[in-house]
């Protein structure tokens, strides 16, 4: 389940510290260490899934859980005007950490695309 060399698996295991905002049996939510906007969170499944490409039907409940969690997190962060979500997939998509995660961004300094 956990990959020994995966940074996010280590954060989930607690061997690397992080600023954790939310946690349940399926996901953790941490602050991005290098925020690209006033609010920049990462929603990370506890299961080591490499990317969107590795999803199968067994992950449907997890992915629905993540999608429904996002607006709740945004509200908790005071993002009443809205928020942006990004999932980078593969090197060509800008993915750097190969453990699936959803970026939640909002507030001041929201970056544009490209
Ligand atoms: P990716 O490019 O893979 O979609 O995003 C990886 C994200 O993880 C980046 O936004 C990066 O700032 C963040 N990140 C990298 N290392 C750490 C870390 O040790 N702790 C936290 N909280 N975020 C990290
Ligand atoms: Zn992992």
**Could you give all domains of the chain from N- to C-terminal order, each with its CATH number?**
7-106 (3.30.428.10)
Tens digits of per-residue pLDDT, 16-56?
Answer: 999 999 999 999 999 999 999 999 999 999 999 999 999 99
Ligand 1 binding pocket includes 98 (Cβ within 6 Å): no
Per-residue confidence at 4, pLDDT binned at 50, 70, 90?
Answer: confident
Q: How far apart are CA 75 and CA 19, in angstroms?
A: 18
Ligand 1 binding pocket includes 18 (Cβ within 6 Å): yes
Query: Ligand 1: which residue has its CA nearest to atom 17?
Result: 33
Q: How far apart are CA 70 and CA 29, in angstroms?
A: 10
Inform me whether the pLDDT recorded for 114 exceeds 80: no
Tell me the pLDDT of the chain averaged across its residues.
95
Per-residue confidence at 109, pLDDT binned at 50, 70, 90?
Answer: confident
Other C-beta atoms within 10 Å of 31: how many? 14
Active-site residue list: 101
CA distances from 47 to 12, 32, 59, 93, 106 (A): 9, 19, 10, 21, 26
Calculate Rg over the CA atoms of the chain. 14
Ligand 1 binding pocket includes 97 (Cβ within 6 Å): yes
- Position 104 scores a pLDDT of 98
């Amino acid at each position: 389940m956990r990959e020994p060399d995966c940074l996010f698996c280590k954060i989930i295991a607690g061997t690397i510290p992080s600023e954790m905002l939310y946690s349940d049996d399926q996901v953790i939510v941490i602050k991005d260490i290098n925020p690209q906007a006033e609010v920049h969170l990462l929603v990370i499944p506890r299961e080591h899934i490499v990317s969107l490409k590795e999803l199968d039907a067994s992950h449907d409940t997890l992915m629905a859980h993540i999608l429904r969690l996002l607006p709740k997190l945004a509200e908790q962060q005071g993002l009443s005007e809205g928020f942006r979500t990004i999932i980078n997939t593969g090197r060509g998509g800008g993915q750097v950490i190969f453990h699936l995660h959803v970026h939640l961004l909002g507030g001041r300094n929201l970056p544009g695309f490209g």
